[in-house]
Amino acid sequence: MTHSSAILLLPGTLVMTERIAHFIKDRALVIAVDGGIEHAKTLNMTPDLWIGDFDSSSRDDQTFYHSIPHIVHPREKSEVDTELAISEAIRRGFNSIIMLGGMGGRLDHQMALLMLPLQYLTTHFIYSDGIQFLETLTDVPHTFPAQKGDLISILPLQNLTGVTLAGTKWPLQDADLNAGFGLSISNEAEETAIEASCQAGRGWLYHAPPPKTVA
């Protein structure tokens, strides 16, 4: 799926891991979102595009990356910078978005990012700081690697139907999960491959190391 994905670099913590390196290697389009340009040097890459109102990027970065194509938006607007970057990626034909960084900071911004799958109903999302990973559930079963004891949660943004989760301590088969309930939080990986899918609804699959190792 990453071969047709656009990568968005968001402001905030980003840890370089093997999985992040895989995303970067297979990149098709990289968009820096305002202060997310800070990750370009760490990842040893030059973004294809830089979008935002440029209120969170440093003057040094603005000078160093002045040659990158810019799309500048006013600070007072109806969308957050990440929405504008997603819309630009979709306009260019991408229906899979990998958002790197963007965790922590203002809670209202964090919530806005977590709710994005409700706006872009046909877009697949991965959202990560390099340690914690969120991926939208779809009707196509997705298998990803895990270590025994890893934390696995499903966070419904809408009521989910036909949820299947395999390889965990508490597997699910054709289950219905309602938004606003904690039933599907804090599951554990029992196998080295986890498979998840849902028939209808929008929600996140969360994957992270065991809780004691999460900062």
pLDDT at 213 exceeding the cut of 70: no
Task: Give the mean model confidence (pLDDT) for residues 158-167.
Answer: 97
pLDDT at site 169: 97
pTM of the model: 0.90
Task: Give the mean model confidence (pLDDT) for residues 81-107.
Answer: 93
Instruction: Of 26-30, 85-89, 98-102, 171-175, give the lowest mean pLDDT range.
Output: 26-30
CATH topology of domain 142-213: Jelly Rolls (2.60.120)
Determine the Cα–Cα distance for residues 115 and 163; give it in Å rounded to an integer.
Answer: 19
Task: Give the mean model confidence (pLDDT) for residues 3-14.
Answer: 88
Q: Strand locations in the chain, DSSP E?
A: 5-9, 29-33, 49-52, 70-72, 96-100, 124-128, 133-136, 142-145, 151-156, 160-166, 172-177, 187-188, 193-197, 203-208
Determine the Cα–Cα distance for residues 38 and 195; give it in Å rounded to an integer.
Answer: 34
2-131 is classed in which CATH architecture? 3-Layer(aba) Sandwich (3.40)
Residue ranges, comma separated, of all CATH 2.60.120.320 domains in the chain are 142-213
pLDDT at site 4: 77
62 close to 54: Cβ distance less than 8 angstroms: yes
Dump pLDDT digits (tens) for 51-80. Answer: 988 888 888 888 888 889 999 887 888 888
pLDDT at site 160: 97
Residue ranges, comma separated, of all CATH 3.40.50.10240 domains in the chain are 2-131
9 close to 40: Cβ distance less than 8 angstroms: yes
144 DSSP β-pair partners: 194
